[in-house]
Amino acid sequence: MINIAIDGTAGSGKGTISKLLAKKLGYYHLDTGAIYRSLTYFLIQEKVDLNDEKEICKTLEKIDFKVQFEKDKDGNQVQKNLLFGEDLKNKIRTEEISVSTSIISKFDCVRKFATKIQHELASKYDLIIEGRDIGTVVLPNADYKFFLTAKPEIRAKRRAEQLNQPQNYNKILKDIIERDEADMKRKSSPLKRADDAILIDNSFQTAFQTLSEMISYIK
């Protein structure tokens, strides 16, 4: 199987670009952030204290969670994040989930759980796999590795537009800076560029420009 790892900071365009690249190459696109977000959704539903590692690990033992790939009626690929059979869809895209996910994703049992799912899918499908620790920890032998980033102000502006909340720009910027810090400083699988990953700062690029730069590296 061919696996292309795309890591990067929050709001760096990883999602958009991974989808475009997957479509171009005919691969599946695995959004690993959605796995961490789904686990967070479950833990919040279960009213677990998100700072209590022991309780989190115990609660995760009873979860029924699966990732499934499907095609929609237009032939686009969709990733279903199934919690006890229910596709969580946009329920995992709120700012509350974003902030809470950053807290729980530092725990080893959470990372182990999510990594196992990623390994299973990577061994079964040609994948564009998008996350924070793919090139460093999950798939250190990925066929290609990219690390995307952009200036925090630009990432906040993109997120605010994506959420249709331009009035919340300052809060979103603050959350992005705090999330970068938390993701980079955690002991377990921190957000870090793999030594052999191609670094792309797309602050002043359109998604299509970033895409064509990436394609120029792929043989």
Asked whether 160 and 168 are in contact (CB, 8 A), the reply is yes
Q: Which residue of 4, 5, 10, 197 would you call a contact of ligand DC, by CB under 6 A? A: 10
Cβ proximity to ligand DC: between 26 and 151 the closer is 151
Q: What are the phi and psi torsion angles at 163 (to 5°)?
A: -85, -5
Out of 21, 28, 30, 36, the only residue in the binding site for ligand DC (CB under 6 A) is 36
Cβ atoms of 126 and 24 closer than 8 Å = no
> Residue 120: which H helix or E strand, with range?
helix 108-124
Between 164 and 216, CB nearer to ligand DC: 164
Taking contact as CB under 6 A, which single stretch among the options 46-54, 56-64, 97-105, 144-152 is the one that binds ligand DC? 97-105
Which of the ranges 55-63, 96-104, 142-150, 157-165 carries the binding residues for ligand DC, by CB under 6 A?
A: 96-104
CB atoms within 10 A of CB 80: 15
Q: Closer CB to ligand DC, residue 4 or residue 73?
A: 4
Q: Which is nearer to ligand DC, 95 or 126 (CB)?
A: 95
How far, CA to CA in Å, does 154 sit from each of 150, 170, 179? 7, 12, 15
Return the number of other C-beta atoms located less than 10 Å from residue 108's C-beta.
Answer: 12
Q: Taking CB under 6 A as the criterion, which residues in 175-194 touch ligand DC? A: 179, 183
What is the contact surface with ligand DC in residues (CB under 6 A)? 10, 32-33, 36-37, 98, 101-102, 105, 131-133, 179, 183
